[in-house]
Structure 1
Amino acid sequence: MDNWLDVPSDDEPGAVSWTREVRFGLAELRTDEERPGGWLLTVNGIAQSYVDLDDPTYLELEYLRYLGYVVDSLESQDKPLDVVHVGGGGATFPRYLSAVRPGSRHLVIEADAALAEFVEERLGLRSVPGLELRIGEGLTEIGTLPVDSADLVVADAFEGLRIAAGITGAEFTAAAARVLRPDGIYLLNLVGTRHQLDEIYAVFPYRILLDGDVFAGYRGNQVLAASRFPLPLDALYRRLEDAIPPVRVSTESSL
């Protein structure tokens, strides 16, 4: 059942939120009083996405900035991209890429049909330029896609605080590699510090891990970028020189 709550709360006076029961729990969309177009999506109280409808280039969540840093370091920065997103949420990253790389095409694979419907109703999921939504399990759906058809595969699929089953396994990794073009990049959102990534390392020889600078006191999501082609490290380091908060980059030799 969809509930519209327009009663101001003590901690966020004037905030408006909607809630809905979805496959993996209770989803909530809440306005950001500091940004008129800002909406935070949570599931069971865990932040999933932040969308600014007025400025799709604004990336509130740090891990999305990490994704942006990698993509913005690629050559031909105005070139449209073909992107497969496993995990939809509020479609923050498709919105970002559609703004900075007009003409990009996005296939969003979302396992939670109720969540996708909720986001569509409130945030206009299907209004994102070039976006196609497909409801289904990531491993199943990515296996149906053509060979060498994507520049990026972005895996951002969670069940609570856990990565969706199979995302880091051999079968999904092989499917991602099959779909990616030879110079394509696999981007994976990680939570925590312990992950079994050997299957990914075996397929993608070039890898970097971006996370918060622990010396500055930041810990949170990490982003793994993996490829069969050398990654644009020099351009990435230039991008990160003025990043706030600071970002730490680990290369394949230290992973």
Structure 2
Amino acid sequence: MNESIPVVRDVDRGTARLLPDVDRERAWLLTVDGAPQSYVDLEAPQHLEFEYARRLGHVVDCAAEPGAPLDVLHLGGGALTLPRYVAATRPGSRQDVAEADRGLLALVAEHLPLPDRSGIAVHGTDARAHLEATAPGSVDVLVADVFGGSRVPAHLTTVPYARAAARALRADGVYAANLADGAPFDFLRPQLATFAAVFAELAVIAEPAVLRGRRFGNVILVASHTPFDTAALIRRCAADAFPARVEHGAAVAGLVKGARPVGDAEAVDSPEPPDGAFGIG
């Protein structure tokens, strides 16, 4: 049993809480202003508690042969859950993390330190600024999981941002972003149009109830220039305790139809989620 004491600290963008999981030794939930941000098990970094994190993990799993090291750029850090996962499952990977909240980074470094020689470099900087400074063609997988509170910041939703992501990726690289929306998908549909304007291949991963418009929830957007192994991704997502659907091809084109790409001038944050929309998966 985890008998650690909760930690509460004001960080740059709110009040962060590290709450011990009473059922798992050395496991912690990070919240910021009450919104769940990350879950980390220091003894088992390959354990992904949140459903959306598992789906991002599935994208990484399908990006290369099992165990092969990758160059990964993470936009948004939180408690560094996915970087720890990649380090554990793909030893020798080189990873960069851009997280704007330096107070949060200090809290995580103090209470949830990274293992030695993890290959993870953490940068206290704006995600888009770091992306735009990334060497062209240097990244195998780009993961965007940036939320200001419970909303994706507007400057990470535009065609210039998508072009910067495409420029950083290698020719066979993969982009994966954690988004959140509900019917009628007034945020998601323009996001798909935005990335369709830059990338040749798109897919989305979400619970069937979210895709049917029955509730608000996380949607993983996957984009690449070359065909992605959607069959393997479908198998992994279907085998989860809370199965998700993978839509691609005509299904994604149907969602995009009528939506327009987003420019910097008209970009807005993702919608505020309704109360109780997010919980631990």
Q: TM-score, normalised by structure 1?
A: 0.90
Aligned to 2:237: 240
Aligned to 1:220: 217
How many residue pairs get matched? 243
Confirm whether residue 208 of structure 1 aligns to residue 197 of structure 2. Answer: no
Superposed, 1:1-255 pairs within 5 Å as 16-125=5-114, 127=116, 129-193=118-182, 194=185, 195=187, 196-197=190-191, 198-214=193-209, 220-255=217-252
Unaligned runs of 5+ residues in structure 2 are: 253-281
Provide, for residues 97-151 of structure 1, a one-character-per-residue CA deviation record: whole Å limited to 9, x for no partner: 1111000111000101101011110101474700111111111111111110000
- CA positional deviation for 1:239: 2.1
- 2:88 aligned counterpart, secondary structure: helix
Provide, for residues 190-219 of structure 1, a one-character-per-residue CA deviation record: whole Å limited to 9, x for no partner: 112332312212111211111113199885
Q: Is the 8 A contact 1:168 1:200 kept in 2?
A: no
Q: Is the 8 A contact 2:238 2:245 kept in 1?
A: no
Q: Distance in 1 between matches of 2:237 and 2:151?
A: 28
- 1:98 aligned counterpart, secondary structure: helix
Provide, for residues 30-85 of structure 1, a one-character-per-residue CA deviation record: whole Å limited to 9, x for no partner: 10001112100000000000000000010000101001112212342221000010
- 2:72 aligned counterpart, secondary structure: strand
AA matched with 2:164: A
1 or 2 for the larger relative contact order (CA 8 Å, sep ≥6)? 2
- Superposed CA RMSD in Å reads 2.0
AA matched with 1:201: A
AA matched with 1:230: P
Q: Distance in 2 between matches of 1:121 and 1:15?
A: 14
Q: Is the 8 A contact 1:149 1:181 kept in 2?
A: yes
Q: Distance in 2 between matches of 1:182 and 1:165?
A: 26
AA matched with 1:108: V
Larger fraction in strand: 1
Cα 1:95–1:128 change in 2 (3 A) is farther
Unaligned runs of 5+ residues in structure 1 are: 1-12
Cα 1:128–1:187 change in 2 (3 A) is farther
AA matched with 1:251: H
Q: Is the 8 A contact 1:212 1:219 kept in 2?
A: no
Provide, for residues 169-203 of structure 1, a one-character-per-residue CA deviation record: whole Å limited to 9, x for no partner: 11211111100001101110011233231221211
Identity of aligned residues (%): 39
AA matched with 2:46: T
